[in-house]
Chains A and B, each alone.
Chain A
Amino acid sequence: MRPVEIGLDGLLCLLLLVLAWKALRAPHLYQSAIYFIALGLVMALAWVRLAAPDVALAEAAIGTGLLGVLLIDSLRVFARDSKTDPDAESEEPPPGEINVYPAGSARPSGRTLPMILVTASCGLLAILLVEAIIELPDGGGLTAAAQENLERSGVDHPVTAVLLNYRGYDTWLEVGVLLLAMLGIFCAGGRVGFAETRQSNPPGHLLSWLIRALAPLMILAAAYLLWLGKLAPGGAFQSGVILGSAGILLRLAGFQVISRLPPLAVKLGLLLGFGVFLIFGGAALLTGRAFLEYPEARAGELILLVETAAAVSIGFTIFAFFAYLNSRDQPEAQENHAREEGGNQKP
């Protein structure tokens, strides 16, 4: 390996460590969130260096983009003083308050012993881990096995083959985890339905023009990535995330996407991916094959169908995460109830 490459990798790794340290140690939560987003973007570069472009796409889009939006949106809630009157809660907090919210004060003082203990044990663990990682033997891996069966899988990109054919179970259950997380968020939020957010400062003409222009382009890009997943990095996850972010952008620009949809369509959108996997798995069982085993001749088409359903469902779910968390938290159950009866039905 050339020294230039070692220098680049070393610099990236150093940057990763520094950003992680800063994210954990920043005095303000807002800075913490920004450092975390920066960490995710540098991590995407690290994935590219490790020859894993699929992971880089997923990390940049989901790990950083979506979670970053959710984190910053949550700051809006945490920055709000819980003791203020309910009327004030509907207003956006002044921007200064987000910045000055101290996280350091959350740690109780006079707890040096646990701190020393934790630091020492983590340091010891670090030494042992690094030692173990260096000692690991080379070799192993499943690259050859994945390549060998590629022809039978119906797609030409090994990562997609693993995701949707060899390890279809994982992907199915993962779509299930998304669904579960959505249900959990409904429970934690204490309400169902996506209340409209009153924008305290509506987006300008420029922004709303841009988003109007970008939304179709993003849907096109999502379709392209989905189709490309057969031969090259891309696929259901990345495409779903682009769909989801198109929805998030539309909502941020003030277009009420999800609350316009009939409640049944919302539920169907959330369930689609999981359901299609289940139907295909069941059909495979009925015709005497293993669960989620595709007939070899038609594997390509079937995988594309399952992928499309999964992408739509993933996009819909992550958009729903944001739409739900972003809609106004209402402590008053009555107002909540009235709103739901007007707009959304309880499932």
Chain B
Amino acid sequence: MTPADAATIVFCLAGAVFFLAGTVGLLRFPDIFSRLHALTKADNLGLGLIVIGLVFQAESIAGAFKLLLIWGLALAAGSNTCYAIGRYALERLPEKGPKEVEK
């Protein structure tokens, strides 16, 4: 096993841990905002770590750049989705309690 392979395994495992924690949080947290919090951690850090892990396996600089670009796009899209859901939920807060807004 080369050092690159070892780095890939370590980073991907770390990313998987974040995804697992995010999923558990999504299932277990009580309301929409803490769920969003859990979800974005999984998206940002989990995906980031997995991308870093995969960069070590990339065949070329261009390939590595494309992987990082995917991460950047997912970050932008993820934070916007989170923002949109949060804003939507917040607008409904006065009429309903935070618990009802979930889902």
- Chain A contact residues, CB within 8 Å of chain B: 95-96, 99, 201, 203-204, 206-207, 210, 213-214, 217
Contact = CB atoms under 8 A, between A and B. Distances in A.
Chain B contact residues: helix, strand, loop or mixed: helix
Contacts of B92: 95
Nearest to A28: B103
A210 B73 CA distance: 10
Interface string B58-100: 0000000000000001001100100110011001100010000
Contact of B83 (A201, A204, A217): A204
Given A95-B88, A201-B91, A206 B80 contact: yes
B103 A210 contact: no
B77 A210 contact: yes
A210 B91 contact: no
Contacts of A217: 73
A207 B91 contact: no
Contacts of B77: 210, 214
Chain A contact residues: helix, strand, loop or mixed: helix
B76 A210 contact: yes
A75 B92 CA distance: 19
Given A207-B84, A210-B77, A213-B76, 11 more contacts: A95-B88, A95-B92, A201-B88, A201-B91, A204-B83, A204-B84, A207-B80, A207-B83, A210-B80, A214-B73, A217-B73
Contact of B87 (A204, A210, A214): A204
A99 B87 contact: no
Contact of A99 (B73, B80, B88, B103): B103
A187 B92 CA distance: 37
A199 B27 CA distance: 32
23 contacts: A95-B88, A95-B92, A96-B96, A99-B103, A201-B88, A201-B91, A203-B84, A204-B83, A204-B84, A204-B87, A206-B80, A206-B83, A207-B80, A207-B83, A207-B84, A210-B76, A210-B77, A210-B80, A213-B76, A214-B73, A214-B76, A214-B77, A217-B73
Contacts of B103: 99
Contacts of B83: 204, 206-207
* 9 nearest CB pairs, A to B: A210-B80, A206-B83, A207-B80, A210-B76, A206-B80, A207-B84, A204-B87, A95-B92, A99-B103
Nearest to A213: B76
Nearest to B89: A95
A217 B73 CA distance: 10
Contacts of A210: 76-77, 80
